[in-house]
Amino acid sequence: MAPPENEAGVVVAEEAVSAAGVGATAVEAAADQAGSIKASGPLSTVVILIAMQTEALPLVSKFQLSEDADPPFPKGVPWVRYYGIYEGLHINIIWFGKDSVLGVDNVGTVSASLVTYASILAFKPDLIINAGTAGGFKVKSRIIIELEEQAEARKPESASTLSVFSLGKQATCYAKGASIADVYLVSDVAFHDRRIPIPVFDQYGVGARKAFSTPNLSRELNLKVGKLSTGDSLDMSPHDEAAIMTNNAVVKDMEGAAVAYVADLFTVPAIFLKAVTDVVDGDKPTAEEFLENLVAVTAALDQAVSKVLGFLPGKCLSDL
């Protein structure tokens, strides 16, 4: 892998978030700024959004990226930009930074939404990649098992799916057997902790969306594919578990669906790479297993993102 050349300069965008930019007019203006998504022609600019420093730094080192001393973000925000050029592809890794009071990584949907918004305005990317760690599901959800014991469930249509009825709705749970250090290319995203039990608002709360389809990328790199469910808690309440089951998720994280929501607003293609640090339905406490595996699993994530970046140069969106 040839080392990237440092980018000569950056066109500084106007501050992405301001008190005047809250209304619909500002959103429309932002959409105009970010609307130059290429329907054809090779990809030029990629933004990689990463919540945790531990996840970001190996990629910064591998691609010899430079830290931007004056990133085109509003003054005072903690977000950190690393940039460079790899085989003609402008790479921007945006790490969410650390909380100014507690000194921990700014994980979660609030930071994810803000950083995605600001990055789209500043860099007008052709593609967004949200890379990070996630919890994975090894076997059928406990909720499914309980439902099976209470009512007749339909037989699996294949070895990897199971149909059940939950809250009067049919759902399919993918029991693909996620293991530690597995990396998933996400096919769909949804939220599992935005419960609004009012017609139509309930669908808004779930916020189900498709990730940008990349069949050639998936096939070429032999990546596992699965659905992602997003929430702002590391643990999983019974309500969360029921929603995750309904979302058919194989992995759960704290940022993906928020990134997808903002990217969708501005019609920027977004893909998601999630590496499994903890088995949600396993025997170990989630927090303990997450911390135990974080560094090792980050290496698997680093390898997967590197392969994706190696695949992208010279490709059009339609080639993915």
What residues are annotated to the active site?
55, 278
Coil/strand/helix, residue 134: strand
Burial 253-269 (b: 16+ CB within 10 A, else e): bbbbbbbbbbbebbebb
DSSP one-letter code for 319: G
DSSP one-letter code for 98: B
Rg (CA), the chain: 20
Alpha-carbon torsion, ordered 97, 103, 109, 111, to 10 deg:
-40
If we measure between CA atoms, which residue out of 201, 223, 199 comes closest to residue 211?
A: 223
If we measure between CA atoms, which residue out of 276, 287, 286, 230 comes closest to residue 254?
A: 230
CB 98 within 8 A of CB 241: no
Task: Tell me the residue length of the chain.
Answer: 320
